[in-house]
Amino acid sequence: MSSETKIKSLRAAVVYGGATCQMDQLFNVTIVKSMISAVIKVMLIRASRERYTMAAKYANNSAIQNFIEYLKIPSVQPDVNYDECVNFLKKQAASLALPIKVYEVVPHKPIVVLKWEGIEPKLPSILLNSHMDVVPVFEKSWTYPPFSGHIDEDGKIFARGSQDMKCVGMQYLEAIRKLKQRGVQLQRTVYICFVPDEEIGGHDGMKKFVHTSDFKALNVGFALDEGMASPNEEFIIFNGERSIWQIHVHCPGRPGHGSLLLPDTAGEKLRYVINKFMDLIEQQKKILDSDSKLTIGDVTTVNLTQIYGGVQSNVIPEKLTVVFDIRLAVTVDHNKFESMIKQWCKEAGDGVTYEFEQFNEKVECTKTDNTNPYWVAFKSAVDNLNLKLDRRIFPGGTDSRYVRQVGIPAIGFSPMNNTPVLLHDHDEFLEADVFLRGIDIYEKIIAAVANA
């Protein structure tokens, strides 16, 4: 228990103790209060020292200070200005004596790439990818300002992006710094890539970049990207992702006055469509609940996210639209699934159609067996570190899907265990010691895969 927690308990004891003394008249309340007040003063001093000691502990740690400097850049969606991030990364590249290039497939959407050339640069390279942008914040719900990089008395670093995923980008750089300081030379060239707009789908970032001649010139053989925190001892790795389908189903119908009972209305058709999707949701819940080994990434999820249409409350609308966010499990046959949706629309009534807001094609998972030499090297490194791995399918979407789509194997991994999952949440934090250990882990992994 921290000193501040103990102080709160003592203050509560003053109130309770005072009331008890007054009722029983067994103690001198004034003396009791004075004694507890004195204790509180001592503990306040101790708490202040704890905060100072923790801040001082990391004050001269350049890796922590670089991380905090990066976290302080408010690269928050929407409409991010990436200039500060680019300037920061240019400074990091200079400190590492690494060349840096900034690509703009889309204006004002920079893709920053640092290069550590290997002994055999003709070999397929290693890509270490991370994104610069972060999601919005509700500042009033944060204990500390979300772009402060505040370190509390427990060594927790609070900031948006501390888990998702500025931590990983900095761990790459700091691991390479340590390797270079030890005079290590790697066989393969390593590219450290910082991309924009991942938090809004990566459409103007990695999705377009992988199809450019600049990306092809990197000759990437294997990529690492983000994972997520693990609340237990295991480290989670992701070798695949579900396909994202966001569908608008349009239901036209006969309009009229709200007082009538008309056939073939938009509302009737809408109800049929919604019921079909809701039945699918219940089916997938049962599958997930039936096997404790399954995680959310192993099933198809469907969520109704929007309904729109109509003009006013007493007019039967001529069209209503419902929107579903669907994440297809990697085992789903896409053609069969879309045929099922077509059939539901046909059954709902005349004129019911659908269109995609987002459509991800099926992408094969990265192999995690002896046929993948990069995986063998990765697994060997983590085994030597005695790390326990939990392999999963990523529940959301990352830039790894675009890399895998062009035939490059990719693993999602963020070295954060015994850490609550706080990506996109209030009070996102990462313990400083967890961050530092992650650098050591990446140091071994990067060396292993780059020498595979």
Catalytic residues, by residue number, are 133, 198
Phi, psi of 151 (to 5 degrees): -105, 120
Sequence-distant (6+) residues with CB within 8 A of 351 are 251, 252
Amino acid at 315: V
Residue with tokens 């085992």: 331
DSSP code, position 49: H
Please report, for residues 201, 222, 303, 433, 449, the alpha-carbon distance to residue 306 in angstroms, rounded to integers and kept in the order given: 19, 38, 9, 42, 44
CA atoms within 13 A on the CB side of 140: 0
DSSP string computed for 58-119? HHT-HHHHHHHHHHTS--BSSS---HHHHHHHHHHHHHHT--EEEEEEETTEEEEEEEE--S
Instruction: Give the DSSP H/E element, type plus range, for residue 355.
Output: strand 353-359
What is d(CA 46, CA 2) in angstroms, rounded to the nearest whole number?
10
DSSP run (H or E) holding 21: helix 3-24
What is the per-residue DSSP string for 107-162? TTEEEEEEEE--SSTTSPEEEEEEE--B----GGG-SS-TTS-EE-TT-EEE-TTT
Tokens of 402: 């675009």
DSSP string computed for 237-296: EEEEEPEEEEEEEEEE---EETTS--SS-HHHHHHHHHHHHHHHHHHHHHHHHH-TT--G
What's the distance, CA 5 to chain centroid? 31
- By three-state DSSP, how is residue 223 classified? strand
The end-to-end CA distance of the chain, in Å, is 46
